């Protein structure tokens, strides 16, 4: 199996169906979908179970007490069976060709980490705002060239988002950081889990294509507090 798609779920029932359907409708079907119900108090957990009942060979569900977004993601990583992990917030969605383009990139480059672009969707007026590409499409970094990615991650926010990456699962599972100590820090939700695989990757590929729809609204991604 190539991809493990990890979706933390916390009080996201309103958006979860659209999120899950964006995965199920991918043109590339070599994936599992892991839904991590992080102590939801709405109907999100039950919706996860209904999807598992409909697609038992495709979807698995983890129910856990509320531990926050970082620990929900780590639970998904621990359960992942694919060669690469990808991360999707429960109020966001993939473009239909997302996995196919990532697979093509992996096959062409052998990258341990594939970074792709996203765009913002504003719920209130249904407008769309593209994000400027950081590098030209199909840029590949290896050797000393990887420092450009690392420095850009430290310097700005533009490459920090965990949800715009496919990461070889072995790199994620090899990270022995005490994530529990940072569970309450929202600034650690992306960068903390991204730095280790980026520094350890032999090859990083960048796609300028906007493959991820990031929903912007007053609620944002519903996180534990």
The tally of domains found in the chain comes to: 1
Q: List, for residues 53-83, the tens digit of each pLDDT value.
A: 999 999 999 999 999 999 999 999 999 999 9
Q: List, for residues 79-119, the tens digit of each pLDDT value.
A: 999 999 999 999 999 999 999 999 999 999 999 999 999 99
- Is residue 224 in some structural domain? no
- Is residue 36 in some structural domain? yes
pLDDT for res 66: 97
Angstrom distance (rounded) from CA 49 to CA 56: 10
Q: How far separated are the first and last CA of the chain, in Å rounded?
A: 35
- Is residue 127 in some structural domain? yes
Q: Is 44 within 8 Å of 52 (Cβ atoms)?
A: no
CATH of residue 200: 3.90.550.10
Supply the range of the domain harboring residue 86. 3-216
What is the value of pTM for the model shown? Answer: 0.94
- Is residue 221 in some structural domain? no
The DSSP result for 134-164, as a single string, is: SS-TTEEEEGGGHHHHHHHHHH-STT--GGG
Lowest-pLDDT choice from 92-96, 153-157, 177-181, 200-204: 153-157
* Cβ-Cβ contacts under 8 Å for 150 (sequence gap 6 or more): 195, 198, 199
Confidence band for 222, pLDDT divided at 50, 70 and 90:
very low
Q: List, for residues 202-213, the tens digit of each pLDDT value.
A: 999 999 999 999
Q: What is the mean pLDDT of the chain?
A: 95
């Amino acid at each position: 199996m190539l991809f493990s798609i990890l979706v933390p779920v916390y009080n996201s029932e309103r958006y979860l169906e659209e999120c899950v359907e964006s995965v199920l409708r991918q043109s590339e079907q070599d994936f599992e979908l892991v839904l991590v119900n992080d102590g939801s108090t709405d109907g999100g957990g039950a919706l996860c179970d209904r999807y598992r009942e409909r697609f038992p060979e495709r979807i698995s569900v983890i129910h856990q007490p509320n531990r926050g977004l970082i620990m929900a993601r780590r639970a998904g990583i621990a359960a992942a069976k694919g060669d690469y992990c990808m991360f999707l917030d429960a109020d966001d969605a993939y473009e239909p060709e997302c996995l196919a383009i990532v697979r093509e990139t992996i096959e062409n480059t052998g990258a341990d980490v594939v970074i792709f672009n996203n765009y913002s969707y504003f719920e209130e007026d249904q407008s769309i705002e593209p994000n400027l590409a950081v590098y030209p499409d199909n840029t590949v970094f290896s050797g000393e060239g990887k420092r450009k990615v690392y420095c850009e991650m430290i310097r700005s926010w533009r490459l920090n988002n965990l949800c715009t990456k496919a990461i070889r699962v072995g790199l994620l599972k090899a990270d022995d950081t005490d994530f529990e100590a940072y569970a309450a820090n929202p600034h650690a939700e992306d960068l903390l889990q991204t730095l280790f695989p980026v520094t350890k990757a032999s090859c990083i590929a960048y796609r300028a294509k906007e493959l991820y729809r990031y929903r912007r609204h007053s609620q944002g991604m519903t996180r534990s507090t």
